[in-house]
Each structure stands twice: as structure tokens, then as C-alpha cells.
Amino acid sequence: MTRPGILAVFILCGSSWTGLGQQTLPPPAYETRASVVKIEVHLTNVDDHERVPDQLRRCFEESDFCVIGTGVRINSEGDVLTAAHVAQDTSAVGEALRNAGIDSQVLIAGSARNAEYVRGDAERTGGVAAASMKAIDTEHDLAVLKTQETGDFAAIDDRTRSNRGREAKLDLQRPDPGEAIFGFGFPEYSPGLIATTGAITLAVGSTNLPEAQKSGNTQLVPVYRAGLEIDPGNSGAAVFRASDGALRGIVCEISEKPSIVATIVPASEIAKVLSKYAVRWDAAPDGPPKVKTRAGFRKHLW
């Protein structure tokens, strides 16, 4: 199982979630996507993108922001759940910029399908919010970012510049192997939101996650495995139950051989971590009958 470091990611070629042909997503996906946000590092001075450090140049070469990973809104207070390594990567990028004499800040934002980003318009619609670390649990590779503004902040796309967001509801039930799921993520360097569908392949498993190993923690934590054609550039991606859009978990790592398999921190473990740090969350109601899917993958680009 691998998870590239942030500096390595900036050197690799950009990539995205891929699949076997573009098809329609489950109906809940079209509402659920509003809860998914990208986590970015923005330059305070737009002109500074010309002098960012070499290891970050690829990410900042076309704009004043760099997409680090994906998060999901979990309550109306502005808290965003992501992977711990995404939160730590934002800190690493900020430190590298500071060492170069460049000011920056971490922002949470929705998707900009046409890759255009107008900060003034986004702020007026509530589409962007500055963020800081609220809680981190490396054992489970989870982190919570707190936005400075409370209440709804919108997903930003071509269809509407003021579409209200929503909060994900945690599905605490254990899935059956073969349960249909879908996920969202932001590819490396891209403000565009990518979705893919797949299925749970293992509902009862455990592992010592790489982020925990870095601090010498050898504790095994429960995980799911899923067939989702994803890329390491989509760290922190949210995975939802296809039948009703309830949050199944957060992608923390992938394996690429013999086929791509995602390791997911289950919502039941996420709930324990959130409760430990007094972060409010809501459970999803029991879902409708589970829907199984064939052993293939589909994608949809917003």
C-alpha cells in the first residue's frame, strides 16, 4: 500500500479518477457532491506564483492556488473531514512557501468546473472559507479542518454559483461485500471534481496505516477495501453508499497491483474519532436494501 509524500506528488504527472467509460451516477450522487470540497493552499499575493520553490512549481504554475486533497463537510458549523496526511501536506506546503518568503493560507472551496477562479465572486456566494487545523488522529489517518465562517458554503460550478452545500451523514452499518458505492475527489493540480463508482470488496479488515507508522504507532485499525479506480492524487476522498448517499468512509491509501484497490477508514471509526475531539456529526438513517454492482468501474466528470 502506498501514499506518496506531498513533494513527490508535485513532481509526478497529473492524473485523475478513471474508469471504464462515462455513465450516469446513482441519483444520490447529484445531491451528495455538494458536501465535497477541495483543500487548497492559496498565495496571498497572486504575483508570488512566479517565484514558488521548484518542488511546488508544477502545482502553482497556472494560478495562485494549489489543490492538496479532498474533504467532506460533516456539520453546519463548518467542519471538514479529510485525511491526516492531507492536512499535514498543507502544513508542509505552507512551510516551504514561508521559507521562500511567500505568504499563503489554507482554503476550503467547492469545484470550479471551468477552472476559472474569481475570489471575489466566491466569497460573496460563501463558496470559499479560510481553514485551520481543529483535530488530527494519525492512527486513523483522519483530520478535521475548521473553517472561519460557519453555516453553509457552496459548491461552485458552471451550473450555479450559489448552490447550497450540505453535510454528509455517517453510515455506521457494516456493508456487505459487493455493496455499490461511489466516490468523489479532486485530481492533482485540478479544481475539477471527478466521481467514480465501484463496490466494497472487503468489509471486515484491519491494517496499520502508513500515517500511523510514521509516528511509530503499530496499532491496527478497522478498514474496508473497495474496487475504485482512483489515484493517489485524490487523498481524503469521500466514499458514499450508492443507495442513499450516506458516507461510508474516507480513502486513506491505495494498492495498484494486481488491480487498484482503495483502503477506506469506515464511518464507524470516523464517528469515534470525531466524538473524541467533540466534533459534531450526524448518523445516516438505515439505508434501503443494498444494491450490488458488477466488478467494473465507471466515472463521471462534472
Q: Which sign does the torsion angle of CA 103, 131, 63, 95 carry?
A: positive
H-run or E-run covering 25: none
Buried b (16+ CB within 10 A) or exposed e, 238-256: bbbbbbbbbbbbbbbbbee
Range of weakest confidence among 101-115, 225-239, 255-269: 101-115
The whole-model pTM stands at: 0.80
- The pLDDT > 90 percentage for the chain reads 48
Read off the pLDDT band of 159 (50, 70, 90).
very low
**Which residue, 72, 115, 65, 135, is CA-closest to 93?**
65
Name 213's Cβ contacts closer than 8 Å, sequence gap at least 6.
none
Domains, the chain, ranges and CATH?
Answer: 180-301 (2.40.10.10)
Beta 65-73 vs 36-43: how paired, if at all? antiparallel
pLDDT in tens, 98-133: 999 999 999 998 765 433 333 434 333 336 889 999
Return the pLDDT at 119.
40
Give the H/E segment covering residue 109. strand 104-109
How confident is the model over 145-155, as a mean pLDDT? 60
Is the pLDDT at 221 greater than 50? The verdict is yes
Percent helix, strand, coil in the chain (nearest 5)? 20, 35, 45
Provide the pLDDT confidence category of residue 201 given band limits of 50, 70 and 90: very high
205: left (phi over 0), alpha (psi -120 to 50) or beta: beta
pLDDT at 238: 93
Candidates 69, 77, 32; CA nearest to 186 is 69
- Among candidates 94, 108, 101, which has minimal Cα distance to 147? 108
Determine the residue type at 120. G
Rounded Cα distance, 106 and 88, in Å: 11
* Exposure on the CB side of residue 251, measured as CA atoms within 13 A: 36
d(CA 117, CA 67): 13
Neighbour tally for 283: CB within 10 Å: 15
pLDDT tens-digit series, residues 6-55 = 333 322 223 333 333 345 789 999 889 889 998 999 999 988 888 999 99
Greatest CA separation for the chain: 55
pLDDT higher at 230 or 287: 230
Q: Is the pLDDT of residue 244 over 90?
A: yes
Query: Judging by beta carbons within 10 Å of its beta carbon (0-12, 13-18, 19+), is residue 163 exposed, middle or buried?
Result: middle
Assess whether the previous peptide bond of 258 is cis (omega < 30° from 0): yes
Contact 265, 239 (CB under 8 A): no
Q: What's the CA gap between 236 and 52, in Å, rounded?
A: 25
Give, as one character, the DSSP assignment of residue 176: P
- Check pLDDT > 60 for residue 258: yes
- pLDDT at position 232 is 58
Nearest CA-CA partner of 163 in 123, 202, 206, 110: 110
Tell me the pLDDT of the chain averaged across its residues: 78
What is the dihedral angle through the alpha carbons of 52, 78, 16, 10, rounded to the nearest 10 degrees? 20
